[in-house]
Structure 1
């Protein structure tokens, strides 16, 4: 039998095995849980929410973060403000004061990334702000800028110059108003004084600076030259360039055209002098503070008021010795050539600092000469020996070009790294020394100027003959020659230099920019009353002789052609112009009139007017030239206003002197040819569709229906008739006209409609002079008029004001003829 199954007992003990996991009970509660993050893409905004950036920060939050202690927060705040203000420019108007305050306070931020972000923000915001909006906040900006320029950290000083460039480009007038505060900072950046109040200063040498000392001084002097250029351009000359601070994107906040009100400011706005009464109390007994520890500077002691009394002299006396020290310091990097007659070789590094030194001195000398001539004489006596020993010791200079490594790509230089050329450096020396060459001959010999003056003239003569001279260098040469012409006593050297420049002018291409600049230069010199000895010189005649050929070659360039005519007009207006020069102008006028169909008609209206004005000054014209003038007046391609102006010029030219009988006959004949041209009777049908009608006898009338030609002809006819009325003795003129009409009508069997209207209107004017035409002529003209109106009626001519005007003139003529026949 099988074994019986064991029954399960209650509360049986479970046997556990080693390593086996116990099963969980059925009533065990699991305590584990899972979580997921929920990201809100956009904040809940109310209806009055402000514009925000991509990080959902508005302008107020960004302005608050600009004062955060964290560098990254300040940098992100400036980047966000740039994004927000460029996207929503209207925010600038409502938050301008706070934006300028935050950005100005960060001029001296210790982190370079924050300063660069601040510069980018200003570069985007300043063009959107007008000068009137920023004027009231500029003293605060100027104070922060001065702090940055005089900071102990070199990087902050370097970035302050970039900020100064931004304000000079957008608000030059405001920077000029604060120039008295800014100019001392330039001097402090490159020099220092041993003791407080010591006027003698020495150049700073900082071996820990990232850039070399020469490169840093060159950068500072470049900004100083830019500021002085703005001062001379705006404040000294009173010129204001329009469009500063205008928006580049739609001109959102364009500057209104209003008059600028200038307020007189103290020389040192950031420093208030302590009153003398207070200082005297500090010196009294019982006061522990010593007056020697307190600044006693007055408002006029600090700063350099360039336009004030003594300000320019003080600035020059402080700056020029420092500039000479910069020049001497750069002497150690040049390579002197041993061969006689060769230039002094200088390195690329010293070229930058030397060019900056000379540019600043050039501008200082121009400012002094323009506004303070007595100071100029003082500067000559004080600095002539120093300039001769430093600038002219190895003059002229050349740049030493080191050998370049092959296979190495050359990085393009930025605008701030572009250095002047050796030619610009040498011309700057010539420009500076030209101020000393203006002394009289005896004083020049006293200073021993004969040797270095010949070197200057020799270099100028060589540089004029060089090919590829830049426009800026050529402008400097012309400026030097203009200065020497008005002051230097030895005209022999100047004549040789002018002759070399004239040879350069004749060898240039007629349409080159260099030719155009030289054209203006010679026209200003030869046509100036100050240089009367040059007006009749052979050089002036040679210069005028080049103008006709230049005009014919530059007809396609209308601007150049107009300029040539302007120079010719300026020449013929001279009272002391020689006969040879007038012959050149007369020959040119005859050539243009001879080629009137291909030359004159292709010119602009303004250029045509200038040529017509030139006819007024020319001596008696040839018969061929008068025939060309008649053709121009009757040519449909010539504007009617030019035609009327030409008729007036001819008559004023005739009336300016007492004319002889032959001249009167020639003038009346020219006017009659303009009024009634026999050549038109045979050729009118070739230009326009015309209708021929047989009149009484064998006579024919040629009529066309072009209203444009009719209107032009009527305008010219009335103008010529009014000219006839301006003669002194109209009765004699009427006799001449009647004899001409008698012979003309008897000889001609074919008459054009234009000549018919000319005779009709002329007869009406003669009747107003109380010199009516004879009966036989009036009857002949009435027959032509009757045929003319028959043609109008047969062809259905349009009724217009012009046709009505013709009818009125013809009706007046018929009424007069009837009155005389009765």
Structure 2
């Protein structure tokens, strides 16, 4: 082995050694005169495009990944990217990835950073606006789950921002979808946000929460914000319940001998429209009624306690801005609860729930909101505390006169006490006089408040009138007279259907012969009865109006029939343009015309100036032979 090693050493020594010679000057330079060509991958350029603001535009895969990234900046960039894509009109390619998108966007409601939560709500708003409700419905449970988690979160800041997410759903999601899927659960979460369960044996098993940790926001403002959203949720239930009560019109087939008739031989495929309780052979009445009673049992004590905390002393009857806003939403919620109870009882032909409510809360309502004999009523706000411009969503405080609050209290008092006693005469007289005073300022009221004023008159003048005419007859008849004068003087606006509601109220009173007589009959309703035929000269007339006219003719009301005869030529000549709205809408046009012509059968004996003959000649000249022959037949009967 030693010889082999020496041989290797000799070989190494024989190698040529470099002596470290340097290159000549000018040769140690890097050449840069060669040409290169860029490598372009078009897909990468497309996915890495930039927006006009300089932000990178990610592709869909990157966006879905960044929505779940641990970095707040990455999540916000992904949310902005989705929003920019939808605004640019690229929402169609998102249809196949809506589940992942809603998961990532709705999860932002639970983000610890407020900026990320706000970006999440903005993106959800833009996405829901761009998509059809049918595309959102399969994934709505994802959004609702994150909303409920945010509403019950341990951090007050996340609870507060959950109301902003709910605002997005209330604005962008159809009421039917919101009411069917999660309204009942959300209502329970609302109750938890302002109260907690009690562990004593009190009937009211919840108490208001005091320390919410909301920073600068007061407890009263926080509860008002929560109750405003609860008001909107209950409004969706009322809106949906009103639709379900309307039945679809039945198909009417008239047999004519000389015309071919077509009938369905094969029945179409019938869908099972029953609810879950009917499919399982369970009674839905007990389930729905129990749930509604649970809402009322939990909310009524909380609403009254919330009002008692801000209610001023009798020595200081004026309300602060916060107290006026709180009263506004509390009264509105109670009114919605009564509306839901009315819809439920009308659909199930029962009065158990309303009787239960009156038994438990009627006396407390009078004590807390009106005091004895209405000493606290009406409420007014402290002057000079006008509400500043705010981005907060919800109803205003009602102004210095607190008219919406006071009108709501009048309606609620009639709901709680439909059969007042003689001892409550002073209280109800006070309420009736307040409505009459409000009619004096009718011209300055917006349509919404005019509509509420009409709704407050209905229980006093119609629903509870039989008892009230025994207790406060003079104030009630004075209120009716003032309302009739306002209607004939066209002081009620036609916007929002206000004038139509007033007309419907008067017609309903006239149809009840006992009320019509006790109010004074033709003497009291004279201005209205003389004005009533003029409604037949308008483009449309309501079904209830025609029904009331027929009732007046059958009652041989001389005031109305005389006015009808005087307007006969104009009414008959306008028949071709008249349309009937309401329950009779969609019926044969000539059938509605015959209903108007039948009125002249009762009034023909009062035609001293031969107005009907003049009307008949004008109809024949216009060429309407069908209406002319029918009117001739009506006049020849007798």
TM-score by length of 2: 0.74
* In 1, Cα distance between equivalents of 2:406 and 2:344: 26
* 2:530 matched residue in structure 1: 545
Say whether residues 1:230 and 2:230 are aligned partners: no
TM-superposed deviation, 1:108: 1.1
* Superimposed CA distance per residue, residues 340-378 of structure 1 (whole angstroms, 9 cap, x where no aligned partner): xxxx21111211111111111111122234435223223
* In 2, Cα distance between equivalents of 1:368 and 1:472: 23
TM-superposed deviation, 1:425: 0.9
**Contact residue 156 and residue 214 of structure 2 kept, 8 A:** no
SS at structure 2 position matched to 1:416: coil
Instruction: Check 1:403–1:578 CA distance in 2 against 1; reply closer, same or farther (3 A cut).
Output: closer
Say whether residues 1:221 and 2:227 are aligned partners: yes
TM-superposed deviation, 1:146: 0.7
* 1:481 matched residue in structure 2: 457
Say whether residues 1:436 and 2:422 are aligned partners: no
**Contact residue 53 and residue 80 of structure 1 kept, 8 A:** no
Q: Mark the runs of 5 or more structure 2 residues left unpaired by the alignment.
A: 1-22, 248-269, 278-284, 346-350, 581-588
Superposed, 1:435-514 pairs within 5 Å as 435-439=415-419, 444-445=421-422, 448-467=423-442, 468-484=444-460, 485-488=462-465, 489-491=467-469, 492=473, 493-509=475-491, 513=495
Instruction: Check 1:579–1:380 CA distance in 2 against 1; reply closer, same or farther (3 A cut).
Output: same
Instruction: Check 1:629–1:366 CA distance in 2 against 1; reply closer, same or farther (3 A cut).
Output: closer
**Contact residue 573 and residue 617 of structure 1 kept, 8 A:** no
**Contact residue 203 and residue 325 of structure 1 kept, 8 A:** no
* 2:335 matched residue in structure 1: 362
**Which residue, out of 620, 625, 647, partners 2:611?**
625
**Which residue, out of 330, 350, 355, partners 1:377?**
355
* 2:43 matched residue in structure 1: 45
TM-superposed deviation, 1:76: 0.9
* In 1, Cα distance between equivalents of 2:37 and 2:445: 68
* In 2, Cα distance between equivalents of 1:606 and 1:346: 48
* 1:83 matched residue in structure 2: 84
**Contact residue 109 and residue 162 of structure 2 kept, 8 A:** yes
* In 2, Cα distance between equivalents of 1:410 and 1:39: 64
* Superimposed CA distance per residue, residues 688-741 of structure 1 (whole angstroms, 9 cap, x where no aligned partner): xxxxxxxxxxxxxxxxxxxxxxxxxxxxxxxxxxxxxxxxxxxxxxxxxxxxxx
Deviates more, 1:66-75 or 1:367-376: 367-376
TM-superposed deviation, 1:106: 2.0
**Contact residue 59 and residue 84 of structure 1 kept, 8 A:** no
* In 2, Cα distance between equivalents of 1:412 and 1:535: 50
TM-superposed deviation, 1:52: 7.4
**Contact residue 307 and residue 327 of structure 2 kept, 8 A:** yes
The alignment yields a C-alpha RMSD, in angstroms, of: 4.1
* In 2, Cα distance between equivalents of 1:117 and 1:41: 37
Instruction: Check 1:350–1:538 CA distance in 2 against 1; reply closer, same or farther (3 A cut).
Output: same
TM-superposed deviation, 1:68: 0.6
* 1:180 matched residue in structure 2: 184
* 2:108 matched residue in structure 1: 106
* 2:70 matched residue in structure 1: 69
SS at structure 2 position matched to 1:308: helix
Name the count of aligned residue pairs: 544
* In 2, Cα distance between equivalents of 1:148 and 1:361: 26
TM-superposed deviation, 1:193: 3.0
* 2:305 matched residue in structure 1: 325
Q: Mark the runs of 5 or more structure 1 residues left unpaired by the alignment.
A: 1-24, 242-257, 266-304, 338-343, 658-822
Superposed, 1:729-740 pairs within 5 Å as none
* Superimposed CA distance per residue, residues 639-658 of structure 1 (whole angstroms, 9 cap, x where no aligned partner): x4x44323333224424x4x
Higher relative contact order structure (alpha carbons within 8 Å, sequence separation ≥ 6): 2
TM-superposed deviation, 1:624: 4.5
* In 1, Cα distance between equivalents of 2:41 and 2:548: 74
* In 2, Cα distance between equivalents of 1:34 and 1:389: 96
**Contact residue 454 and residue 501 of structure 2 kept, 8 A:** no
**Contact residue 324 and residue 398 of structure 2 kept, 8 A:** yes
TM-superposed deviation, 1:424: 0.6
* 1:645 matched residue in structure 2: 627
* In 2, Cα distance between equivalents of 1:381 and 1:630: 60
* In 2, Cα distance between equivalents of 1:261 and 1:115: 39
* Superimposed CA distance per residue, residues 184-228 of structure 1 (whole angstroms, 9 cap, x where no aligned partner): 110111112355999232333335434221111111111111111
Say whether residues 1:350 and 2:319 are aligned partners: no
* 1:310 matched residue in structure 2: 290
* 2:117 matched residue in structure 1: 115
* Superimposed CA distance per residue, residues 519-554 of structure 1 (whole angstroms, 9 cap, x where no aligned partner): 343233323568554694423333111235x569xx
* In 2, Cα distance between equivalents of 1:125 and 1:240: 33
**Contact residue 632 and residue 643 of structure 1 kept, 8 A:** no
* Superimposed CA distance per residue, residues 269-314 of structure 1 (whole angstroms, 9 cap, x where no aligned partner): xxxxxxxxxxxxxxxxxxxxxxxxxxxxxxxxxxxx9962422222
* In 2, Cα distance between equivalents of 1:194 and 1:136: 38
* Superimposed CA distance per residue, residues 237-279 of structure 1 (whole angstroms, 9 cap, x where no aligned partner): 51699xxxxxxxxxxxxxxxx98957649xxxxxxxxxxxxxx
Say whether residues 1:386 and 2:368 are aligned partners: no
**Contact residue 190 and residue 230 of structure 2 kept, 8 A:** yes
**Contact residue 486 and residue 492 of structure 2 kept, 8 A:** no
SS at structure 1 position matched to 2:42: coil
Larger C-alpha radius of gyration, 1 or 2? 1
**Which residue, out of 535, 557, 563, partners 1:578?**
557
* In 2, Cα distance between equivalents of 1:263 and 1:191: 32
Instruction: Check 1:84–1:262 CA distance in 2 against 1; reply closer, same or farther (3 A cut).
Output: farther
